[in-house]
Each structure stands twice: as C-alpha cells, then as structure tokens.
C-alpha cells in the first residue's frame, strides 16, 4: 500500500501537472470504484483544481466550491500520468481523470478491487474521510509520546493505526522500528523515555529520508514504480537477507495478509519472535534465538 512518502511524491508530481487546470471529465472503467452517490461526477466537469493534499494515505484533489475527489489506493491501486484521452486498460483500468495536457489513470492489479474514489461536497464531508492520526513529520515529541501510550498496544500496531499516526503502514513501520532498534511486539507502555525519543526521532528521520530519496529517484517524471518493497530498505521484504547494520538474517512474523520484518540482532537482543499461529503449531519446537535457529539449519544440512 502506498504510504506517506509515496503519497507525498504522487502529490508533488500531480502539482506540476494538474494544479490550476480544469478537469475535463471523469471516465470510469469500473462502476464499483466510485463509492459515493452525491455529488455526481458531472458536477466536477470544467472545475479547476485548486488544492492537492493528503488525508492519511488518501489523495485529495480539491476544486472550487468545496468539491473534492478523494482517492484511496488501498493495497494495489496506482496512479499513472498518460497522454490526453488515454484509453483505460482492460481489467486493471479503474478510472481516468482527463485534462487538456494529459490523463490521470487509476489502475489496480489485484483480483479483489479495493481502490476507491469518493466524490465529496463540503469541508465537513471531507473531514469525515480523515482518520485523525497525528502527522508524524510535524508532531512534537510530547504529543507523539502522549499518543503512543494512550493505549497499551504493540509498537507495530500503534505505528500503523491511522487513528494514532497518519500515513504509516506495514513497510515504513518496519523501517522505523529497525532504525529505532525496538522490537515490533514491544508494548507501548513498556517504553522508557529514551526509547520513546528514539522512536520519535526514527519516525521523523525514516519518513523524511525516504521522501528525499524517492524525490531524487523520480526527478521531473511521474512515479511509476511505487512499491512497498525497495532494495534500499533495511528489513522490510528482506526475509533471510543480512541486516545492513549487524549482518544478522532478517526474520519475519506472518499474520493474516501482513508480514512484519525485523532484525533480531538490532531489535530483539537475538531473540526470534513467533506469531500465535506458528507458536501453537510448533510449541516447544520453535527456536528462541538466532544461534538455535542456525544450529537447526546446520543439523538439517549435515551429511
């Protein structure tokens, strides 16, 4: 799912292409992508784009008279800038926003179509789409700490909760926790003052660093390679590969459709973490340390 750094780069690319320009019309490749019934899309025709902003992981395109299109990319939704009147690709093309100089195309390569567009009238109606999480790049350390410990949850959960922090998802939470040298399953109220400061600094520096990197990689073009798995990442999507800091093999916890990646050497004192399903399955057979895991691997390959 595109997260805060990815959405920020999308918005910067759109600013150069559609801000101050009239929308000629909206074409739908799938009627299910439009999740609202009022106002009708016809009301947006010939309206000028006046504002581009982010609500969590949502992209907001604002027009005159408090009209907004809210685009939620979900997991597999992606934006593309194409030539004017570009056709919608069969099966994956969900919608096209036509401008005189080009077309903004929304695609989704997935069996389940989850990406959505909402047509909204009025600032109050727009606010209803805001999950309300604090902005991690501008929040103060004290407000960050207060939100962090308001309830007692694992760090992975609280970082990815859009009602607590805005725009952080599965990928960048892994990177933040690795940078902060904290376990993804540590409980928020078990953090001491130094750990909270480390997490606050790591959150800001990780997100700001990735925005800068993606900005350099995109240049004047349009971001076409938006992905949750990037070779520059330290742990996310790097199961079994060496940690760039300590060299320990990156581990993972798999739960439902989500995967949490972490470095035992940097984050858990060498201890391996087991998700509940795996713990029930393996019970005492689950290795508790990297050393035990390596011993088991060696015993399997020994002649």
pLDDT tens string 123-169: 999 999 999 999 999 999 999 999 999 999 999 999 999 999 999 99
- The pLDDT assigned to 45 comes to 97
Would you state the pLDDT for residue 274? Answer: 75
Q: Does residue 44 come out as left (phi exceeding 0), alpha (psi in the -120 to 50 range) or beta? A: alpha
State the Cα–Cα distance between residues 182 and 202, nearest whole angstrom. 10
- To the nearest 10°, report the CA torsion of 244, 246, 247, 252: -80
| Tokens describing residue 222 | 């349009």
pLDDT of 254: 84
Structure tokens at 237: 């999507």
pLDDT of residue 44: 98
Please tell me the predicted confidence (pLDDT) of residue 200.
Answer: 98
Q: What is the pLDDT of residue 1?
A: 85
CA gyration radius for the chain?
A: 22
**pTM score:** 0.91
Residue the block writes with tokens 């195309």? 105
Domains of the chain: 4-127 (3.20.190.10), 141-285 (1.10.8.50)
Name beta bridge partners: 259. Answer: 254
Amino acid 112: pLDDT:
87
3-state secondary structure the chain: CCCHHHHHHHHHHHHHHHCCCECCEEEECCHHHECCCCCCHHHHCCCEEEEEEEECCEEEEEEHHHEEEEEECCCCEEEEEECCCCCCCCCCEEEEEECCCCEEEEEECCCCCCCEEEEEECHHHHHCCCCCCECCCCCCHHHHHHHHCCCCCEHHHHHCCCCCECCCCHHHHHHHHHHHCCCCCCEHHHCCHHHHHHHHHHHHHHHHHHHHHHHHHHCCCCCCCCCCCCCCCCCCCCCCCECCCCCCECEEEEECCEEEEECHHHHCCCECCCCHHHHHHHHHHCCCEHHHHHHHHHHHHCC
* Residue pLDDT tens, the chain, 303 long: 899 999 999 999 999 999 999 999 999 999 999 999 999 999 999 999 999 999 999 999 999 999 999 999 999 999 999 999 999 999 999 999 999 999 999 999 998 889 999 999 999 999 999 999 999 999 999 999 999 999 999 999 999 999 999 999 999 999 999 999 999 999 999 999 999 999 999 999 999 999 999 999 999 999 999 999 999 999 999 999 999 999 999 999 887 667 899 999 999 999 998 766 555 545 555 566 666 666 665 665 555
What are the structure tokens assigned to 35, written together? 């999740």
pLDDT of residue 211: 98
For residues 291 and 236, give the distance between their C-alpha atoms in angstroms, rounded to a whole number.
22
- Phi then psi for residue 173, to 5 deg, are -65, -40
CB 9 within 8 A of CB 59: no
């Amino acid at each position: 799912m595109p997260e805060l750094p990815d959405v920020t780069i999308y918005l910067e690319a759109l600013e150069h292409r559609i801000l101050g320009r009239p929308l000629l019309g909206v074409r739908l490749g799938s009627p299910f992508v439009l999740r609202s019934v009022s106002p009708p899309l016809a009301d947006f025709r010939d309206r000028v784009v006046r504002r581009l902003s982010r609500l969590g992981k949502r992209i907001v395109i604002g027009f005159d008279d408090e009209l907004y299109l809210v685009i939620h990319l979900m997991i597999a939704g992606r934006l593309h800038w194409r030539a004017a009147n570009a056709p919608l690709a069969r099966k994956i093309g969900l919608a096209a926003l036509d401008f005189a100089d080009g077309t903004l195309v929304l695609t989704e390569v997935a069996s389940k179509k989850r990406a959505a567009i909402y047509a909204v009238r009025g600032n109050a109606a727009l606010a209803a789409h805001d999950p309300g999480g604090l902005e991690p790049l501008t929040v103060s350390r004290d407000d960050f700490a207060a939100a962090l410990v308001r309830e007692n949850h694992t760090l992975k959960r609280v970082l990815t909760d859009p009602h607590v922090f805005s725009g952080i998802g599965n990928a960048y939470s892994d990177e933040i926790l690795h940078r902060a040298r904290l376990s993804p399953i540590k409980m928020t109220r078990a953090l001491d003052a130094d750990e909270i400061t480390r997490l606050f600094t790591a959150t800001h520096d990780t997100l700001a660093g990735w925005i800068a990197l993606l900005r350099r990689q995109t240049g004047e073009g349009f971001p076409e390679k938006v992905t949750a798995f990037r070779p520059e990442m330290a742990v996310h999507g790097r199961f079994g590969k060496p940690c760039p800091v300590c060299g320990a093999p990156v581990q993972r916890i798999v739960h439902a459709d989500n995967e949490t990646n972490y470095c035992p050497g940097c984050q858990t004192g060498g201890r391996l973490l087991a998700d509940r399903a795996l713990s029930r399955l393996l019970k005492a057979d689950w290795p508790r340390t990297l050393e035990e895991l390596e011993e088991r691997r060696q015993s399997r390959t020994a002649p």
